[in-house]
Amino acid sequence: LLFLWSLTVSIFGIGGVLGSSGSRYLTVKFGKKKCLLCNNVLMIVAASIMGCSKIAQSFEMILIGRFMCGVSAGLCVPLHHQYVGEISPKKLRGFANSTSSFFWSLGKAVGQISGQRELLGSQSLWPMLMAACGFPALVQLVTLPFFPESPPYLLMHKGDQEGCKKAIRQLWGEGQHQAEIDDIMKEKATMKNTKILSVLELVKEPAFRWQLYMIIILTATIQLCGINAV
């Protein structure tokens, strides 16, 4: 029983590693908007499986649902930050990216409060609690089609300059946006002369060694600060 509890908790992280590892390939091939839409479907399916686990009397459905949620979350974190940053005008980009962290924290707080036994953590309502992660995904699935694809993706990966201009006008309104388009073109020219490193190559690269040490130490100490116990 202890092994099953441990596996149920940790399988979310395993799915997260797999999801985040495949995010770069998927975004380059399909675009950030399409990936986010498909990711929402994955989360809704995972929520439905976990929500029906009690009726089906199957703990395996919770394991499968948790794994799928982990994959979805692993994909969503880099996708969301990239998409929000790329569709925001330059003067609001820092603010837009910072809101992502705020809403991640807010979502965790709402989930932990909702999980109390007095609310959705009771014997009869816990399937609803596990299925609740599908609601935000459903909201985004309904609203995201009204947004355009990321302008940098359209220009840099698809070479669609007209589509890029149309997306910029839809997002930022009418006006002179040539400076932003020129910036994207400069970034595209820079990327042609820059080698994209794999995760293994990044770890081996001496120039990034101290930055890597700092990130590992920071991430490890956050896990030891007691927040999970609290």
Q: pLDDT for 204-215, tens place per residue?
A: 888 888 998 998
pLDDT at 61 over 70: yes
Q: What is the pLDDT of residue 78?
A: 85
Q: What is the pLDDT of residue 182?
A: 74
**What ranges do the domains of the chain cover?**
1-147, 195-229
Crossing angle for the helix pair 32-51 and 23-30, nearest 10 degrees? 120
> d(Cα 113, Cα 107) in Å, to the nearest integer?
10
Task: Using a pLDDT cut of 90, give the percent of the chain over it.
Answer: 22
Q: Quote the pTM value.
A: 0.80
User: Tokens at residue 46, please?
Assistant: 């995972």
pLDDT at 149 over 90: no
Average pLDDT on 23-45 reads: 88
CATH 1.20.272.10 matches 1-147: no
Average pLDDT on 70-95 reads: 86
> d(Cα 230, Cα 224) in Å, to the nearest integer?
11
pLDDT at 67 over 90: yes
